[in-house]
Structure 1
Amino acid sequence: MIDALVQPFIEFAFMRRALVGSLAISLTAPPIGVFLVLRRMSLMGDAMGHAILPGAAIGYLLAGLSLTAMSLGGFAAGFAVALAAGLVARSTVLREDASLAGFYLLSLALGVMIISVKGSNVDLLHVLFGTVLALDDAALILIATIATVSLATLAVIYRPLVLECFDPQYLRSVSPLSSPTHLLFLVLVVLNLVAGFQALGTLMAVGIMLLPAVAARFWTEDISGMIGVAVGVAFAASLGGLLVSYYANVPTGPAVILGCGAFYLLSMFAGVKGGLLWNLMPRKHLEA
């Protein structure tokens, strides 16, 4: 049994790189997802995940499958969409979720169009669904750098970020940190989507950010506990997805995200904090 778990990673260097990249993403993206869930911004994360596509596509148009060009383009596009959606929401009658939905659809269509004009279907699939088994040293360095920067920044803004989740009006009234915290948080979201894009593609990157976070909500109500559970779920799904992909010869990115989805479904049914089975259990008299 142990041999079956470790043999692919001992024998093949590309499996080791895929594991390192997946675990680095799993260490930093789920904590961001926890705060997206707590701030009721889950769909915003999904929209921004698709918003990086036109920037990555422009980078591809200019420099081919260049890691630097596509990453910089993706970051610029994602951050621009986030700021534009907020500006539209503050300047018009549209709410932020509606403006994000509009930008998300435009971004997805524009990105697919740009790649399709210059590239092939293989290039399009590479951008949309990622190639986690083809991670090279440059991609690993980028992912590790983003993970390090994200964790350090999250540690610095952790306290105001927690307060903003539960009482943003109070934070605005007692501290000038509300706007900088929100801006830094948006930067972290886009950065981690860019890191996930390198391995899982634009359509899958948001999955490893949000699904473990949603699953963690069914096991604990403590934020630090949710972060720990979410990271553990992402680790397990990454390892399991790589092994399933290796032995069953199925696409790796979708296997990892389906692993996250399996943990989410299990948590939804069996989680001790609001899971379906837990809610069906008989309660003591007068117990809330």
Structure 2
Amino acid sequence: MIDFLVSPFIEFAFMQRALLGAVLLSISSCPVGVFLMLRRMSLAGDAMAHAILPGAAIGFLLYGLAIVPMTIGGLIAGAVVALGAGAVSRFTLQKEDASLAAFYLISLALGVMIVSLRGSSVDLMHVLFGTVLALNDDALTLIGAICAITLVTLAVLWRGLVAECLDPLFLRSVSRIGTVVHFAFLALVVLNLVGGFQALGTLLSVGLMMLPAAAARFWTARVGPMCVLAVAIGLASSLSGLLLSYHAALPSGPAIVLSAGAAYLLSILFGTRGLMAVRSRHRHKAA
């Protein structure tokens, strides 16, 4: 059993790099996913994940699979979509979710078309689904830097982020920090999606961000423990997904996200705020 769990990470350097990248992503993106969920912006995270695709695709078109150009392109595209969707919802009658959906569909189609102009189907799969087993030093450095920036920002703006989850209009009415917190949080979302893009691609990067957060919601109502539990679920999902990928010869990115999905389904059933617990409380009240 120990050999089953440990030997892949001892024998192969690419497995060590994949595990390190997944651990850093879990520590960084899972707390961001918790705040996205509490702000009722879960689907916005999915839209933003696709929004980075055109910028990353332009970087690929110009420089191939080089990390720096694709990262810069993804950051610019994510910022443009976030600001554009916000501007549309602020200055027109359309709600933010509808404008995000429109920008997301345009971005996805544009990104796929740009990659197809130069790359093969293999390159398109790399951009859409990532290659966590092929992370190099540059990618790990980028993910580590994003993790550090995220943790520092969360520590500095923690109270503002929690307050905005409870009542954003009240926060903006009593403090000028409301706007700063809002845009700093959107920047963290884009950063973490860009980091996740390196390992899991644009289609799956939001999975490691949102599924552990959604699972943690069934175990606790407090924000701090929820973030810690989401990170723990993300770490367990990353480890189990990589082991499943290695031993069963499955794609690594989907295996990690499916492991997080399994944790979510188990949490729905057996969490302290899940279906079994709710039914048990109803039975006690009826008795």
Question: Which whole-Å CA distance do the structure 2 matches of 1:206 and 1:196 have between them?
Answer: 8
In structure 1, distance between residues paired with 2:270 and 2:23: 25
Matched, 1:176 2:176: yes
Distance in 2 separating the partners of 1:128 and 1:157: 32
Q: Which residue of 2 aligns with 1:190?
A: 190
Does residue 31 (structure 1) correspond to residue 31 (structure 2)? The answer is yes
Map 1:100-249; keep pairs closer than 5 Å: 100-249=100-249
Distance of 1:168 and 1:91 partners within structure 2: 19
**Counterpart of 1:278?**
277
Q: How does 1:52-91 map to 2 (within 5 A)?
A: 52-91=52-91
CA distance in 1, matches of 2:237, 2:130: 17
Unaligned runs of 5+ in 2: none
Distance 2:139 2:40 in 1: 31
Which amino acid in 2 is paired with 1:168? P
Q: What whole-Å deviation, never above 9, does each CA across 1:77-109 have from its counterpart, x for those lacking one?
A: 011101100100011111000000000000000
Structure 2 CA distance for aligned equivalents of residues 120 and 155 of structure 1 = 43
Instruction: Give the letter for the 2:275 counterpart.
Output: L
Offset of residue 270 of structure 1: 1.1
- Partner SS, residue 182 of structure 1: helix
Q: Distance in 2 between matches of 1:248 and 1:3?
A: 15
Instruction: State the 1:117 CA deviation.
Output: 1.1
Whichever residue aligns with residue 89 of structure 2, its letter is: A
Percent of aligned pairs with the same amino acid: 60
d(CA) in 2 for partners of 1:35, 1:61: 34
Q: Partner letter of residue 196 of structure 1? A: G
Q: Which runs of 5+ in 1 are unaligned?
A: none
Write the deviation string for residues 228-271 of structure 1: whole angstroms up to 9, x where unpaired: 11000000000000000000000000000000000000011111
TM-score by length of 1: 0.98
Bigger mean CA deviation after superposition, 193-202 or 164-173? 164-173
Instruction: Number of aligned residue pairs: give it.
Output: 286
For residues 262 and 271 of structure 1, the distance between their equivalents in structure 2, rounded to whole angstroms, comes to: 13
Q: Within 1, Cα distance between the matches of 2:138 and 2:151?
A: 20
Q: Does 1:250 align with 2:247?
A: no
| C-alpha distance in structure 1 between counterparts of 2:183 and 2:285, whole Å | 47
Provide the rounded CA distance (Å) in 2 between the counterparts of 1:187 and 1:99: 18
User: How far did residue 128 of structure 1 move?
Assistant: 0.2
Whole-Å Cα distance in 2 between the matches of residues 167 and 89 of structure 1? 19
For the residues of structure 2 that align with 1:70 and 1:33, how far apart are their CA atoms?
23
**How far 1:286 moved relative to its partner?**
7.5
- Correspondence for 1:6: 6
Alignment match, 2:22: 22
CA distance in 2, matches of 1:123, 1:284: 57
Alpha-carbon separation, structure 2, partners of 1:262 and 1:44: 22
RMSD, aligned CA: 1.0
Hey, what's the Cα distance between the residues in 1 that align with 2:285 and 2:211?
A: 35
- Structure 2 distance, partners of 1:252, 1:165, is 33
For residues 209 and 239 of structure 2, the distance between their equivalents in structure 1, rounded to whole angstroms, comes to 16
Matches of 1:167 and 1:91, distance apart in 2: 22
Q: Distance in 2 between matches of 1:89 and 1:285?
A: 45
Task: Determine the C-alpha separation between the residues in 2 that align with 1:52 and 1:173.
Answer: 32
* Distance (Å, rounded) in 1 between the aligned partners of 2:94 and 2:173: 26
Secondary structure of 1:201's counterpart equals helix
| Matches of 1:284 and 1:268, distance apart in 2 | 20
> Residues of 2 paired with 1:116 and 1:268: CA distance?
40
Give 1:284 deviation, angstroms.
Answer: 3.1
1:20-54 deviation line (CA, Å, top 9, x unaligned): 00000000100000000000000100000000000
Matched, 1:40 2:37: no
Instruction: Provide, for residues 94-143 of structure 1, a one-character-per-residue CA deviation record: whole Å limited to 9, x for no partner.
Output: 10000000000000000000001111000000000000000001110110
Greater share of helix residues, 1 or 2?
A: 2
Deviation at 1:76, TM superposition (A): 0.7
CA distance in 1, matches of 2:265, 2:83: 33
